[in-house]
Every structure is written in structure tokens, then in C-alpha cells.
Amino acid sequence: MNSLGRNFRITTFGESHGKALGVVIDGCPPGIPLAEGDIQPFLDRRRPGKSPLESPRKEPDRVEILSGIFGGKTTGAPIALLVANRDVREEDYAELEEIFRPGHADFTWQAKYGIRDHRGGGRSSGRETVARVAAGAVAAGYLASRGIKISGRILEIHGKRDPDAMTREIEKAKAEGDSVGGIAEVLVTGCPAGLGDPVFSKLDALLAHALMGIGAVKGVEIGEGFAAARMKGSKHNDAMTGDGFATNHAGGILGGISTGQEIVARIAVKPTPSIAKTQRTVDRKGREVSISIRGRHDPCIVPRILPVAEAMVALVIMDAYLEQARYRALPGAGSLAGGDA
């Protein structure tokens, strides 16, 4: 379904070449100052066309608040955010109506629904993430006011870890009509201990769910992640001292609950599936065809996924923060819970 979260629950809608993208936020605490100007900078970071290495689609991505605000503050009522599509070019996609693009959701969407909006991928387009970023901005703003900060960075592009080398890899891919992937990391600082629920709502499980739910993500890891599989327990365990944890191999989460340390999550992003290079594929009747996708695409999607990943982490932390807030308020439980969350 198109909703995420229990307490700070978002429901998104919209297609790449439809009228608009939007999100309804349900459960935002009342009394929080919120204006369009608080959200816009997050959308601007995600917006296409900021550099020659990004899709040249011209979208101002201006957010409009439709509801839930009164006198400049949230009221507890649902907040609807709308971003109109401006640079819609249906005609660019006419030839794709009958063809399944490799690496895209064209085939699976058709298999699932028996009908599909082929214009730029319709709802399966990365453009759908505009709504996530808008909602994430509201969450991030609230969390920042509580001292919790979320920040992302690119670790690797096509195997390179030096920034200049990363740029060269993207330029090279673009010149070849190809694309490259990479690895990004999102960090959460200032997060109190106690967020996350054991068993099926572990904080790391919720983060994995949210991050793997970004279109191009193929892997998620927390703390040492896959490297932990090659470590010994005596090395991986984080010793505790009178001053707190001595190390943070766990990535800020133990037993699915935050430790109070920095939370560390990493994602593997696949190379953009839309490439100019000729590829083999089939049409809806199963006939083999060749395809070369010439349009407005990013040769590497990692930089533009970064604000999306940060938004997803903000949404998860916000939801867990509100979940835990309840305990603080309850007599008995409140006094025992350490007071931090």
C-alpha cells in the first residue's frame, strides 16, 4: 500500500507525468510551527537539473500546504502537501507504451495490474519520491527541534571512494551511454536510547524496510553490516564503560532498540536502469525488440537518492520517537524509562 508509519503516518500519491504528486501526513503533533518554506529546501536538494550530470527535466517542485496548519502551526489535523508536475512530456514516452524497459518495473507492473501508466514509469518512477522528501522534511524539522539530526553522504560511486574519481566515473558512464551505481550512508545523531520495538518493529528492521523501499536500493546494512559476518564476537561486541559505549560496531541499535549512539545505515544503489546503450527486451506480445532509452535520465542516481534516503530515515525515527513518547507520559513507566525518550 501507499502508506508508511504508525504514529506519523504518511500516504503518498501521484505519477511521474500526472497532474501532481502529494502526501498526506497523519499524526503530526499539534502546535509545531510549519510553513512551505520549511519544506522547500529539502525538495530543492532532490530536484533534477541542478548539474549537467542530472536529468534536465525542468521541475520547480514548489510545495503547497493544503491543510492541517492554522496560524502558522500544525493543529493535529492531517497535513496535505502538493507538488504540481510542470514539465510533462507524454509524447516522449509514446514508444514505450508497448515495450518493457529492462531493469524497470514495466513488466512487473503489467503482470500485477494488467494496466499501466507508461508515461515515464507512471507511479513506479523515481519522481514519486518527491512526496517522501516533502513528508520527510516535516519529520526532520521536528526531530531537529529535539536535537536529532539526520545527514547522508556518498561513500562510493562505481567502486571509487575519492570525490573527483566519483565524478569521473559518472562522466565516463554518461559518455558511454551507460550508468553507474554506488553506496551511500545515512547517520542519525542525537537520537535518544529506547526507540524501536523488539521483535517485528525493531528500529533496524524499520530502517531496512524504509530504505529498501527506495526504487534503486538493492542492499541495506546497519553498523558493520556485511563486514560483521567476518568478525569475531570479541571484536564486534561494543564494550560498555562508565563513559558509555567504547565502540559502535552495532551502528547505534541493539536488539532493535536505539542505544543513544550514532545510528549508521548504508544502502547499495544499483546503476540507473535507463541507458542510451542498445538493450534487448520484449514488447507486450513477447516479441523481441531492441531499445535505446534517450530521454532525461541521471547517469548515476546516487546523489539524488541521498535526500530521499535521509527522508526515509527521518520518517522512521519520527515514528519511533512518537511511539516511545507514550511511555514517558505514563505514570510508573515514565519514571523508569530513563527519561531520555
Footprint on residues 138-167 left by a second copy (CB under 8 A): 146, 156, 158-159
Regarding 170 and contact with a second copy (CB under 8 A), the answer is: no
C-alpha of 201 from chain center? 18
Nearer to a second copy by C-beta: 146 or 149? 146
Quote the DSSP letter at residue 29: P
114 part of the interface to a second copy, by CB under 8 A: yes
Rounded Cα–Cα distance for residues 60 and 47 (Å):
8
Q: Which of 186, 275, 314, 318 is close enough to bind a second copy by CB under 8 A? A: 275
Residue 133: which residues within 8 A CB-CB, separation 6 or more?
42, 43, 45, 46, 307, 308, 311
Angle of helix 129-145 relative to helix 302-329, nearest 10 degrees? 50
Q: Which is nearer to a second copy, 41 or 333 (CB)?
A: 333
- Minimum gap (Å) between residue 220 Cβ and a second copy: 6
Region near a second copy per CB under 8 A, out of 38-46, 47-55, 72-80, 303-311: 72-80
Q: Is 326 in the site for a second copy (CB under 8 A)?
A: yes
The smaller minimum CB distance to a second copy, of residues 47 and 297, is found at 297
Query: Which residue in the set 46, 47, 57, 116 belongs to the binding site for a second copy (CB under 8 A)?
Result: 116
**Contact set for a second copy, span 176-235 (CB under 8 A):** 176, 178-183, 193-202, 204-213, 215, 218-235
By CB under 8 A, name the one of 43, 79, 150, 170 that touches a second copy. 79
What is the Cα 318 distance to its own chain's centre? 14
Residue number, 49 or 255, with CB nearest to a second copy: 255
> C-beta of 225: minimal distance to a second copy in Å?
4
- What's the min distance (Å) between Cβ of 49 and a second copy? 20
Window 282-311: residues binding a second copy (CB under 8 A): 282, 286-288
In three-state secondary structure terms, 22 is: strand
Q: Report phi then psi at 21, rounded to 5.
A: -115, 150
Supply the minimum distance, in Å, between the C-beta of residue 292 and a second copy: 11
Rounded to an integer, what distance in angstroms lies between the CA atom of residue 104 and that of residue 125? 9
Per CB under 8 A, 241 contacts a second copy? yes
Q: Site mask, a second copy, residues 30-49, x = CB under 8 A?
A: xxx-----------------
How many residues of this chain interact with a second copy, rule: CB under 8 A? 164
**78 part of the interface to a second copy, by CB under 8 A:** yes
> Phi first, then psi: what are they for 149, rounded to 5°?
-120, 140
Kindly state the DSSP code that residue 167 receives in the 8-state scheme: H
57 forms part of the interface with a second copy (CB under 8 A): no
**Which amino acid, 96?**
L
At 277, give phi and psi (nearest 5°). -55, 145
Between 151 and 240, whose beta carbon lies closer to a second copy? 240
CA 56 and chain centroid, separation: 21
Shortest gap between Cβ of 189 and a second copy (angstroms)? 17
Question: How many Cα atoms sit within 13 Å of 322 on the Cβ side?
Answer: 17
Using the rule CB under 8 A, is 175 a contact of a second copy?
A: no
The Cα 121–Cα 125 span in angstroms is: 5
Say how far apart CA 324 and CA 335 lie, in whole Å. 13
